[in-house]
């Protein structure tokens, strides 16, 4: 089967270069919806999707943030100043949700912590917001972000990433000790739970912070995997989170 590989132009290569005083934003940009995963499932939120990732997961649903073979990776990203980004976030909230409701921003990617110094500058312009940062657990968060909620999703062998780049025990231990953190593990088969057992033991992760997500690109796939693992997950005392955004909206991109 042939694979279409996009050949970037000179303009494309310029477009993805980092600007020292601006955030690199993916094609999804900013959008308002409900949080679909984890401890705050169902809460109103604005999502900010950043570009670039240091991992390449085989089942990733945002490949356009890192896949250099895709046209979207090269042509969609934009550079936004901190002030412009804050305005877009506030406008997205006000266009959908009541202004007197608790404001929640979920910073996602890609891997947001590749731009964490810039995130600090952005958050200075967003007083009063509850902040969630989604991360793969391979980059050490800086102390300036410790007050944020960290939604950490360590990657397993099923992601296709080599162990030495996807597993950073020292990072997981720091995130575990933060007051607001959780761990979401994506599983494709029951044997994945044994791999998670080792990570939990080696990193001394708090079992009350652990959520298991059955992987799937359709509601049917998620349901099949949920039925395969639910008893074993409950026996370990962990939680389960579904991909509710898939159930609510389907597999289309949220923009």
59 assigned binding-site residue: yes
Q: Is 197 annotated as a binding residue?
A: no
Q: Is residue 114 a known part of a binding site? A: no
10: Cβ contacts below 8 Å, ≥ 6 apart: none
62 is an annotated ligand-binding site residue = yes
The reply, when asked if residue 49 is annotated as ligand binding, is yes
85 is in an annotated binding site: no
Query: 11 CB contacts (<8 Å, ≥6 apart)?
Result: none
Asked whether residue 138 is marked as a ligand-binding residue, the answer is no
Proportion of the chain in helix, strand, coil states, percent, rounded to 5:
40, 20, 40
Closest CA to 168 of 155, 181, 180, 179: 155
Give phi and psi for 152, each to the nearest 5.
Answer: -95, 130
| 44 in a labelled binding site | no
Answer yes or no: is 148 a known binding residue: no
- 3 state DSSP class of 178: coil
The residues with which 181 forms a beta bridge, in sequence order, are 150
Peptide bond connecting 110 to the previous residue in cis, omega within 30 degrees of 0:
yes
Instruction: Show the tokens assigned to 255.
Output: 């923009």
Q: Is 153 annotated as a binding residue?
A: yes
Asked whether residue 182 is marked as a ligand-binding residue, the answer is no
Whether residue 36 is annotated as binding a ligand: the answer is yes
Please tell me whether 108 is known to bind a ligand: yes
Annotated binding residues for Mg(2+), written as ranges, equal: 62
Annotated binding residues for [4Fe-4S] cluster, written as ranges, equal: 53, 57, 60
Annotated binding residues for substrate, written as ranges, equal: 34-36, 49, 108
Annotated binding residues, written as ranges, equal: 34-36, 49, 53, 57, 59-62, 108, 110, 153-155
Annotated binding residues for S-adenosyl-L-methionine, written as ranges, equal: 59-61, 110, 153-155
């Amino acid at each position: 089967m042939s694979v279409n590989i996009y050949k970037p132009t000179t303009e494309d290569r310029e477009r993805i270069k980092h600007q020292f005083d601006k955030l690199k934003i993916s094609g999804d940009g900013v959008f308002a919806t409900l949080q679909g995963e984890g401890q705050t499932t169902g809460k109103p939120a604005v999502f900010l999707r950043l570009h670039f990732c240091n991992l390449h997961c085989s089942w990733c649903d945002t490949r356009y943030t890192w896949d250099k073979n895709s046209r979207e990776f090269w042509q969609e990203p934009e550079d936004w100043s901190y002030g412009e980004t804050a305005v877009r976030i506030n406008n997205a909230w006000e266009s959908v949700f009541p202004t007197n409701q608790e404001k929640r921003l979920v910073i996602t990617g890609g891997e947001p912590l590749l731009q964490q110094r810039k995130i600090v500058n952005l958050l200075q312009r967003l007083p009063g917001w509850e902040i969630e940062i989604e991360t793969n657990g391979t980059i050490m968060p800086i102390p300036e972000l410790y007050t944020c909620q960290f939604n950490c999703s360590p990657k397993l062998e099923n992601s296709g990433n080599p162990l030495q780049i996807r597993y950073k025990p020292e990072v997981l231990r720091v995130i575990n000790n933060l007051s607001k953190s959780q761990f979401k593990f994506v599983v494709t088969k029951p044997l994945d739970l044994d791999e998670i057992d080792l990570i939990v033991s080696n990193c001394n992760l708090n079992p009350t912070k652990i959520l298991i997500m059955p992987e799937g690109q359709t509601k049917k796939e998620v349901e099949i995997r949920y039925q395969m693992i639910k008893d074993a997950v409950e026996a370990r005392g962990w939680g389960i989170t579904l991909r509710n955004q898939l159930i609510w909206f389907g597999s289309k991109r949220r923009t």
